Amino acid sequence: MKPGLLLSMVLSLSIHAGAFNDDSLTIRSIANEVFTSGSAYRNLEYLCKHIGPRLSGSANAGKAVAWGMKAMKEAGADTVYLQPCMVMHWVHGSKESGWMVMKNGSDSKKFALQLTALGNSVGTGPQGISGPVVEVKNFDELDKLGEAGVKGKIVFLNYPMNPLFVSTFDAYEDAAKYRVRGPAKAAKYGAVGVMVRSLASNEDTHPHAGVTFYGNTSPKIPAVAISTYDANRLSSYLSQGSEVVAGFITNCVMEKDTLSYNVIGEIRGSEKPEEIITVGGHLDSWDLAEGAQDDGAGCVQSIEVLRVIKQNRLNPKRTIRAVLFMNEENGAGGAKAYYDSAVSKKEKHIFALESDAGGYTPRGFRITAGEKPFARLEKWVPLLKPYGVYYLRKTTEGDVDVSFLEKAGAVLAGLEPDSQRYFDMHHSETDVFEGVSKRELELGAINMAALVWLVSNYGLN
């Protein structure tokens, strides 16, 4: 090897090592600031305890928007503004009730059901609905029963989350189609109502809410989720050959779409301000609880990204936006408005990161990207390992609120915390502030801020 080439290689390695050390020190300063003076946990407490559930279109959603603006300003954003968006306005109404009667010869036993209306479902009216229950484990079984086996009955869609998936999000994705599309499919065969097994990892007595979509071709019938405990009990009775009749009353109604807002805080880039990095979570939540993990955690972590970058005077080269999206749970109106604005303004979006998997201990990031940007991001993993992130996982689609930005050219990312406890509380009455660990929440914010800062400093080309 020529001496000049050797010297060039040594200098290159030295420069690389120096930059790596500098980046490591910067990320350490980010961590130190969050650990000692972080605001994420305090912000989450206020959001949960002083505002609470934030269903799109509700008064609490409006209060959350006002809170988000205030929190962004306190974080030190250069600019804070509201972005109008039209959102679905589904009203849950007063608490539901449900029951089932097991008929065994001349003996009958009546049991209460723990249930909740599915988001976007029609209500039953004050008289409720009732009918014999028919259980199906999948769509193939539903199709085989057809109209002859379904008409006039309540369809019980009993598809458990698969425990063989180590990632509970993979199990959720596998099972969610029965909640999202099941009521519409059952309606086509003449069902009078649908009960869906809650999407929960464990057996519990809490119904877990979530959205359903009817489409334009099927009748709209009332749909509820029942607790996994009740689902197992109901399935056991039916498997014994018992005739079961069930009924429920729901009071939900779909109003006209209404005006709401995304909340946006921005730090303008110092060298390439036209290149935009988005970091965000969704501000709306189901109304069974406080929406602490889903997705208050992602909102306060995104605000913390702005705060720590400003507090540490890091002066990002590219523009960083924190976005609190509205209407992720049952319509994605905020995500669509953000994308439409980006297209109309011909903005250049290079990276979009969402935190919508809870405030648990961070493990990695999901990345939707080509080979070159993925390889660049992967080189930074050693810088994140001291704070709990040890992998990047390549995926084909991003989280709901940032997914539209792929069409605008952005690399998509999602914080991936430990998932094992998430579906114990997801969309249920147990998703409260007390279930969030301050330390875990802060670790997520640190890793988000570190990755956003690296992209802002170096880009992805």
87 contacts 56 by C-beta, under 8 angstroms:
yes
For residue 160, give the nearest of 146, 174, 148, 149 by alpha carbon.
Answer: 174
Does the pLDDT value for residue 18 go beyond 60?
A: no
For residue 282, give the nearest of 175, 403, 389, 452 by alpha carbon.
Answer: 403
Of the listed 96, 135, 304, 328, which one is catalytic?
A: 328
Reported as a single tens digit per residue, the pLDDT across 144-199 is 999 999 999 999 999 999 999 999 999 999 999 999 999 999 999 999 999 999 99
Q: Outline which parts of the chain fall under CATH 3.50.30.30.
A: 93-251
Averaged pLDDT score across all residues of the chain? 94
Active site residue 328: yes
Reported as a single tens digit per residue, the pLDDT across 63-83 is 999 999 999 999 999 999 999
122 contacts 222 by C-beta, under 8 angstroms:
yes
> What's the topology of domain 30-90+256-458?
Aminopeptidase (3.40.630)
Query: Residue 242: which pLDDT band, with cuts at 50, 70 and 90?
Result: confident
Does the pLDDT value for residue 437 go beyond 60?
A: yes
Reported as a single tens digit per residue, the pLDDT across 253-282 is 999 999 999 999 999 999 999 999 999 999
pLDDT given for residue 10 in this prediction: 44
Does the pLDDT value for residue 142 go beyond 90?
A: yes
Does the pLDDT value for residue 2 go beyond 90?
A: no
The edge-to-edge listing of strands for the beta sheet with 391-394 is 79-91, 253-267, 318-325, 272-282, 348-354, 411-417, 362-368, 391-394
For residue 366, give the nearest of 388, 349, 391, 401 by alpha carbon.
Answer: 391
Q: Outline which parts of the chain fall under CATH 3.40.630.10.
A: 30-90+256-458
Measure the CA–CA gap between 135 and 257, rounded to whole angstroms: 35
Measure the CA–CA gap between 17 and 20, rounded to whole angstroms: 5
pLDDT given for residue 206 in this prediction: 97
Measure the CA–CA gap between 22 and 141, rounded to whole angstroms: 59
Q: Does domain 93-251 have CATH number 3.50.30.30?
A: yes
